[in-house]
Amino acid sequence: MTNNSLPFPALYASHSGIWLADISGSCRRIARGEAVGMAAETPLIVLNAVLTGQRLGYADLSGLDLLELFAFVHPAQFCVPTPAGLFKRLGMAAASSPAPADDMIAPMLREAASHLLSAMDVPNWPEREGAWSSAQALHRHRWSWSSEVLKRLKKPEHAEKWLFSRLTEWEEEPPPAAPRGVVLDDQDIIEHLDLLTGEGAEKREGQQIYARHAGAVFRPREQRGSPNMLLAEAGTGIGKTLGYLAPASLWSAETGGSVWISTYTKALQRQLNKETQRIYPDAHVLKRKVVVRKGRENYLCLLNLEDAMQGGFSGRPAILAQLVARWAAYSRDGDMIGGDLPGWLTTLFRRRGVTSLTDRRGECIYAGCPHYRKCFIEKAVRASQHADIVIANHALVMVNAARGREEQSRTGRIIFDEGHHLFDAADSMFAANLTGQEAIEIRRWVIGPEQSSKGRRRGLAARLSDLASYDEEGGRAIEAARVAANAMVSDGWLQRLNEGSPHGAMEEFFAAIRGLVYARDENTNSGNDAGYSLETELAELPGGFIEAAAKTANALDALLKPLIQLGKRLEAILIDGPDWLDGQARARAEGALNSLQWRMDTVSAWLSMVASIGGPPPPDFISWLGVERFEGREFDIGYYRRWIDPMKPFAEIVLKPAHGVITTSATLKTGDDWDGAMVRSGAVHLERPPQTFAVPSPFDYAAQAEILIVTDIRRGDISGLASAYAGLIQASGGGALGLFTAIKRLRTVHGRIADRLAEEGLPLYAQHIDPIDTGTLVDIFRDEPRASLLGTDALRDGVDVPGHSLRLVVMEGVPWPKPNILHKARRLAMTEKGGGSAYDDAIIRGRLAQAFGRLIRSKNDRGQFVVLSPAFPSRLLSAFPKGTNIRRVTLAECLQSVQYNASLAQQSQGDSQTLLSANLNKDDLGT
Ligand code: SF4
């Protein structure tokens, strides 16, 4: 299949060098200057132009990107976006092959291009439909591959179905009946569990007990406002997902009800999606019974896509729109973030245009949309109303409960997996932020975009022009809202604030916030200003600030009143059904009413926040002022409010209306104490206490893992930190996950060690540096056993890499909570209840336990967990599973130990024998 006739050289750049394969097939190492010169003059085949450009220091690099070609040829399919990943995906290398050496890659990239192009020659190429029309459109947008692609595509004899006609429509169905009340029999649960785990599977006692406890939650509840609730801690390896899926699916089958399973990370959503295939092995049944739901901002909006394809986008974003359209025609569910759209595709376009393709700004016009019946979001909403199992996330479950738009989505039985994240999810959900960026969105929603826009975004008056002309009162409300929205911030506001010339009441308020924050934040005056966000408490406010707030309150009030009036008119018109209200106008009015409610809620929350300035602080909340910055660049300014205990509204809105709730995780308790879990799950606000249940991990941590606390790297010694990371990665031969609490340190360490490691064949990837989304970084890490990965919080919690690819976790120190205003307020609230330092400790223990949890994912895993901390408090050692061996060592001893284990692992990789026990000495602390 190799075709050397492609008239393009290929370029490959890693941290260790740059190689060029010319069209004769020869390959040579070249200097950066020559590479940049070549790239500027000649179209080059590359793999990931953004990453290659970053490595060349040439941000404008474009070229014939193989990943774009892959997205065209195999839409809605995935490939690990590395040379090794692509070669395996194309069958050019066996799945078990080691990654090719850097100097072999460039010629193979040319070969890969030929493979991809040849795939279109195969007569039964499954993704042929739509390809010709799509390539024509891409050619008009000067897509670099279009000429080569069009050479291989014949114009179809019949006009191709265009994307929107290929998509199926959802059917209206009657609302589901209320589930019957049943009590599940323990024996039935265990038999069902056996069925799911499969014949011959090892019987796990912990999993069986877990399943029985979970089953009890599905009993009919005894009292309104008081759900059956279970807090269940299940150590890693118990098999808790099947442990709760067994009773949940049994209950669904017996009662016709739905069970919502809520997760925090996409990794668990993916795992659950796989596990449910055991319950419903038939793919058609599975599709009906199990639905994955995400927030609407995750899905492609077909109307926005149509707009983008019909002139709304130009340049590179227009090419992205065409590739997204090609994906949408083959996509399972239209989920752009974490679904079957490869995460790397949008990063190739530097994410420009991506948000405009989703419904991120809440501009959906619902039944007024010509694609309403094919809309991915509407399909997912309807499918979930009739599904047995709905896999969702914490944020969506809370949004549904709070906004109540989906009354038919029956969230009566909820399983919150990764329950240790519930508190943070509720914290974000019930927060109120009055920021410049939020205010500008409201203005645009009412008035429309300020500059001439080719897009479909229109203001309220344009969207409801029929209402404005036929209904006098409605017309007046729209006009009053339009006038009032002028007082919100407008385009260019940040620059005006910087220049000291704010425009209008609200910009003056934000200018006052900015002034106060810069005056009061300690970092700006202490020489510690690292260019990140600043904040100050909302206290001891000067008179001028209070005046600016009062003017803003007036402006918000002036906007809220006509919005309320408009809402009333829309409701009345929909009930009365005047003559002019044809089907389309009705759909538009319904759509407007839907999105209006959300805006009214937002503006009224802001009004209540601003109106309280100058008065006594509301007791349940903590408020502060902030300037959001990244590397010294301001991107937002605002007034922020959080619940001191966000589980209070969570308990009211989510827990109390539910019939049964399981909150589960591998880390819920603090030691043997459930008090923290009661607070952080919201159970403390329920009248009836929850059941609690814990089952330890079946793993033999003493044999499978070891914890090394390195005591001779001083805090703040960045050179020492970088050398330690480099040394540890070298000693383990890669397979290391490096966790940081500060992006700045991560960048510095990466900058100092990446090239050095690459020269030894140890690729180093990093969140916040590589232009690759986090999910894809984890996929790359999993796929390359010699690769290592550096990252921050998202990696501490969401990485599930069983096996040899992850054999070492390195934490840069004890993960202390950031002492920001919010944290201090919560700590103070806990201190008043007698648990201030215990509050901090619980947070740190949770983080350590989660980080450690990345290491051992299966009973065959072996690994070491290293913390670089000269003074690791002994009281925090209880964060780790009982029996795990812990040693305090110097870096030299640690390196020796890691190297020793790496050599043992190499000798007997795959051998389930205990490796680490050979290396333990008398200093073991034992937890
Ligand atoms: S119904 Fe709303 S989200 Fe769906 S395609 Fe139309 S505008 Fe977009």
The tokens for 286 are: 């599975």
Question: 452 CA distance to ligand 1 centroid (A)?
Answer: 23
Q: For residue 140, give every residue at least 6 positions away whose Cβ sits within 8 Å of its Cβ, in sequence order, or none.
A: none
Residue 919's pLDDT band, with cuts at 50, 70 and 90, is very low
Phi-psi region of 925 (alpha: psi -120 to 50; beta: other; left: phi over 0): alpha
Q: What percent of the chain has pLDDT over 70?
A: 94
Average pLDDT over residues 386-393: 94
Ligand 1 neighbourhood includes 50 CB (under 6 angstroms): no
Ligand 1 neighbourhood includes 377 CB (under 6 angstroms): yes
Backbone angles phi, psi at 543, to 5 degrees: -60, -40
Instruction: Residue 215: count other Cβ atoms within 10 Å of its Cβ.
Output: 26
Q: Which of 504, 497, 517 is nearest to 551 (CA)?
A: 504
Q: For residue 294, give every residue at least 6 positions away whose Cβ sits within 8 Å of its Cβ, in sequence order, or none.
A: 335, 337, 338, 380, 392, 393, 396
Long-range contacts of 838-842 (CB under 8 A, 24+ apart): 838/670, 838/676, 840/816, 841/670, 841/875, 841/876, 842/670, 842/676
Residue 364's pLDDT band, with cuts at 50, 70 and 90, is confident
- The pLDDT of residue 920: 38
Mean pLDDT of all residues belonging to the chain: 89
Nearest CA owner, ligand 1 atom 8 = 301
Which ligand 1 atom is nearest residue 363's CA? 7
Question: Which residue shows structure tokens 């609730």?
Answer: 229
Q: Which of 393, 636, 620 is nearest to 533 (CA)?
A: 636
Ligand 1 neighbourhood includes 364 CB (under 6 angstroms): yes
What span, in angstroms and rounded, lies between the C-alpha atoms of 765 and 368? 46
What span, in angstroms and rounded, lies between the C-alpha atoms of 40 and 63? 9
3-state SS class at 253: helix
Question: Which residue shows structure tokens 């999105």?
Answer: 595
Ligand 1 neighbourhood includes 430 CB (under 6 angstroms): no
Instruction: Kindly tell me if the per-residue pLDDT of 4 is higher than 50.
Output: no
Q: For residue 738, give every residue at least 6 positions away whose Cβ sits within 8 Å of its Cβ, in sequence order, or none.
A: 725, 729, 746, 749, 788, 789, 790, 791, 810, 812
Show the DSSP H helices in 799-890 as ranges.
Answer: 821-832, 836-853
Instruction: Kindly tell me if the per-residue pLDDT of 452 is higher than 70.
Output: no
Give the pTM.
0.87
Q: pLDDT tens digit string along 584-629? A: 778 778 878 878 888 999 999 999 999 999 888 888 999 999 999 9
Question: 378 CA distance to ligand 1 centroid (A)?
Answer: 8
CA dihedral 489, 494, 499, 505 (to 10 degrees): 20
Mutation choice for ligand 1 from 298, 301, 445, 456, CB with most ligand atoms inside 8 A: 301
Q: Which of 168, 395, 407, 439 is nearest to 298 (CA)?
A: 395
Q: Is the CB of residue 731 less than 8 Å from the CB of residue 892?
A: no
Mutation choice for ligand 1 from 305, 335, 377, 588, CB with most ligand atoms inside 8 A: 377
Q: What percent of the chain has pLDDT over 90?
A: 62
Instruction: Residue 911: count other Cβ atoms within 10 Å of its Cβ.
Output: 12
Please say whether the dihedral angle defined by the alpha carbons of residues 583, 585, 588 and 592, taken in this order, is positive or negative.
negative
Which ligand 1 atom is nearest residue 301's CA? 8
What span, in angstroms and rounded, lies between the C-alpha atoms of 105 and 107? 6
Question: 357 CA distance to ligand 1 centroid (A)?
Answer: 10
Helix pair angle (543-576, 472-485), 10° resolution: 160
Instruction: Kindly tell me if the per-residue pLDDT of 224 is higher than 70.
Output: yes
Q: For residue 720, give every residue at least 6 positions away whose Cβ sits within 8 Å of its Cβ, in sequence order, or none.
A: 713, 714
Q: Is the CB of residue 625 less than 8 Å from the CB of residue 433?
A: no
Question: 723 CA distance to ligand 1 centroid (A)?
Answer: 52
Mutation choice for ligand 1 from 355, 363, 364, CB with most ligand atoms inside 8 A: 364
Ranges 95-99, 314-318, 456-460, 659-663, most confident = 659-663
Q: Is the CB of residue 32 less than 8 Å from the CB of residue 57?
A: yes
Question: 363 CA distance to ligand 1 centroid (A)?
Answer: 8
- The pLDDT of residue 606: 97
Give the residues across from 246 on adjacent strands: none
Q: What is the DSSP letter of 298?
A: G
Mutation choice for ligand 1 from 299, 335, 336, 378, CB with most ligand atoms inside 8 A: 378
Instruction: Residue 438: count other Cβ atoms within 10 Å of its Cβ.
Output: 16
- The pLDDT of residue 317: 93
Which ligand 1 atom is nearest residue 366's CA? 1
- The pLDDT of residue 804: 83
Burial per residue of 883-895, b for 16 or more beta-carbon CB atoms within 10 angstroms, e otherwise: ebbbbbbebebbb
Helix pair angle (316-330, 66-73), 10° resolution: 30
Mutation choice for ligand 1 from 167, 298, 335, 365, CB with most ligand atoms inside 8 A: 365
Ranges 454-458, 560-564, 768-772, most confident = 560-564
Ligand 1 neighbourhood includes 851 CB (under 6 angstroms): no
Question: 594 CA distance to ligand 1 centroid (A)?
Answer: 13
- The pLDDT of residue 158: 81
Question: 304 CA distance to ligand 1 centroid (A)?
Answer: 8
Q: pLDDT tens digit string along 483-497? A: 999 989 999 999 999
CA dihedral 238, 271, 374, 446 (to 10 degrees): 80
Question: 374 CA distance to ligand 1 centroid (A)?
Answer: 9
Average pLDDT over residues 731-743: 94
CA distances from 814 to 248, 737, 810 (A): 39, 16, 11
Instruction: Residue 212: count other Cβ atoms within 10 Å of its Cβ.
Output: 19
Ligand 1 neighbourhood includes 589 CB (under 6 angstroms): no
DSSP assignments along 371-385, one per residue: TGGG-HHHHHHHHHH
Q: What is the DSSP letter of 784?
A: -
Side chain identity, residue 43: P
Instruction: Kindly tell me if the per-residue pLDDT of 468 is higher than 80.
Output: no
Residue 363's pLDDT band, with cuts at 50, 70 and 90, is confident
Ligand 1 neighbourhood includes 69 CB (under 6 angstroms): no
Q: Which of 692, 672, 684, 673 is nearest to 646 (CA)?
A: 684
Nearest CA owner, ligand 1 atom 2 = 364
Nearest CA owner, ligand 1 atom 7 = 364
Nearest CA owner, ligand 1 atom 4 = 375
Give the residues across from 664 on adjacent strands: 232
Residue 453's pLDDT band, with cuts at 50, 70 and 90, is low
Give the residues across from 665 on adjacent strands: 233
Q: Which of 468, 466, 461 is nearest to 444 (CA)?
A: 461
What span, in angstroms and rounded, lies between the C-alpha atoms of 601 and 607? 10
Residue 924's pLDDT band, with cuts at 50, 70 and 90, is very low
- The pLDDT of residue 262: 96
Ligand 1 neighbourhood includes 693 CB (under 6 angstroms): no
3-state SS class at 655: helix
Which ligand 1 atom is nearest residue 375's CA? 4
Which ligand 1 atom is nearest residue 591's CA? 2
Which ligand 1 atom is nearest residue 369's CA? 6
Q: Is the CB of residue 662 less than 8 Å from the CB of residue 405?
A: no
DSSP assignments along 528-573, one per residue: ---SS-EEEES-S--HHHHHHHHHHHHHHHHHHHHHHHHHHHHHHH
Ligand 1 neighbourhood includes 341 CB (under 6 angstroms): no
Question: 173 CA distance to ligand 1 centroid (A)?
Answer: 20
Q: pLDDT tens digit string along 117-162? A: 999 999 999 999 999 999 999 999 999 999 999 999 988 888 777 7
Ligand 1 neighbourhood includes 301 CB (under 6 angstroms): yes
Average pLDDT over residues 186-207: 87
Backbone angles phi, psi at 663, to 5 degrees: -115, 120
- The pLDDT of residue 1: 41
3-state SS class at 195: helix
Instruction: Kindly tell me if the per-residue pLDDT of 727 is higher than 70.
Output: yes
**What is the enclosing helix (H) or strand (E) of 576?**
helix 543-576
Ligand 1 neighbourhood includes 369 CB (under 6 angstroms): yes
Phi-psi region of 150 (alpha: psi -120 to 50; beta: other; left: phi over 0): alpha
CB-based burial of residue 302 (10 Å sphere; 0-12 exposed, 13-18 middle, 19+ buried)? Answer: buried
Q: What angle do CA 867, 871, 874 make, to 5 degrees?
A: 85
Backbone angles phi, psi at 265, to 5 degrees: -105, 155
Which ligand 1 atom is nearest residue 367's CA? 1
Residue 925's pLDDT band, with cuts at 50, 70 and 90, is very low
Ligand 1 neighbourhood includes 372 CB (under 6 angstroms): yes
Instruction: Kindly tell me if the per-residue pLDDT of 402 is higher than 90.
Output: no
What span, in angstroms and rounded, lies between the C-alpha atoms of 777 and 746? 15
- The pLDDT of residue 578: 82
Question: 677 CA distance to ligand 1 centroid (A)?
Answer: 40
Ligand 1 neighbourhood includes 381 CB (under 6 angstroms): no
Question: 601 CA distance to ligand 1 centroid (A)?
Answer: 22
